[in-house]
Amino acid sequence: MSSLEETLQRAENLLQPYGQSFNRPELNRLDVYLQRENLLAAVQALLEARWGYLSTITGIDRPSAAVEEGQTPTEGEIEVLYSFCSGAAVVSLRVRAPYSDAALPSICPLIPSATLGERELMEMFGVKVEGTPDTSRLILADSWPEGVYPLRKSFVPAARFSGEAKGG
Partner 1 sequence: MGLEVSKPWQQALDKIRTWARVNSPWAIHFNSGSCNGCDIEILATLTPRYDVERFGIKLQGSPRHADVLICTGPVSLQAKDRLLRIYWQMPEPKFVIAVGSCGLSGGVFHGCYNIVKGIDEVLPVDVFVPGCPPRPEAIIYGVAVLLEALKSGKRPERTMTVELPAGFEKPQAEVRQ
Partner 2 sequence: MSFEPLGENRFIVPIGPQHPALKEPGHFEFVVDGEIVTGASVRLGYVHRGIEKGAEDRTWIQNLYLMERICGICSHIHATAFVQGVEKLAGVEAPPRARAIREVFAELERIHSHMLWLGVAAHEGGFDALFMYSWRDREVVMDMLEMLSGNRVHYSANLIGGVKYDLNPEMMDKIRDGLNYLEERLAHYLDVVNHDETFIGRTRGIGTMTREQAQLLGAVGPTARASNFAFDVRVDAPYAAYAEFPVEMVVAQEGDLHARFVVRILETMESIRVLRRIFDNLPESELVTRVPRRIPAGETISRVEAPRGELFYFIASSGGEKPERVKVRTPSLCNWGTVITLAVGHKLADMPMILAGIDPCFSCNDRLVMVKRNHQDPQVWTWADLRNYGIEYYR
Q: Does 142 bind partner 1 (CB under 8 A)?
A: yes
Task: Return the number of the residue (37 or 62) whose C-beta is nearest partner 2.
Answer: 62
Q: Does 65 bind partner 1 (CB under 8 A)?
A: no
Q: Does 165 bind partner 1 (CB under 8 A)?
A: no
**Phi, psi values for residue 145, rounded to 5°:** -65, 145
Sheet of strand 77-86, all strands in order from the earlier edge strand to the far edge: 19-23, 29-34, 89-98, 77-86, 53-62
| Helix, strand or coil, per DSSP, at residue 61 | strand
CA dihedral 36, 137, 151, 28 (to 10 degrees): -50
Name which of partner 2, partner 1, none residue 56 binds, using a CB cut-off of 5 to 8 Å depending on partner kind.
Answer: partner 2
Task: Return the number of the residue (160 or 166) whose C-beta is nearest partner 1.
Answer: 160
Q: How many residues would you count in the chain?
A: 168
The secondary structure element, H or E, covering residue 85 is strand 77-86
Looking only at the bridges linking them, the beta strands covering 103-105 and 77-86 are unpaired
Name which of partner 1, partner 2, none residue 2 binds, using a CB cut-off of 5 to 8 Å depending on partner kind.
Answer: none
Report the distance separating Cα 13 and Cα 95, nearest Å.
19
Name which of partner 1, partner 2, none residue 138 binds, using a CB cut-off of 5 to 8 Å depending on partner kind.
Answer: partner 2
Q: Which of 1, 2, 68, 160 binds partner 1 (CB under 8 A)?
A: 160
Binding residues (CB under 8 A) for partner 2: these are 25-26, 28-29, 53-56, 58-61, 68, 81, 83, 85, 87-88, 90, 92, 111-116, 124, 133-134, 136-141, 150-151, 155, 157, 160-161, 163, 165, 168
Q: Which amino acid is at 159?
A: A
78 near 96, Cβ under 8 Å? yes
Name which of partner 1, partner 2, none residue 159 binds, using a CB cut-off of 5 to 8 Å depending on partner kind.
Answer: partner 1
Residue ranges binding partner 1 (CB under 8 A): 140-144, 150, 155, 157-163
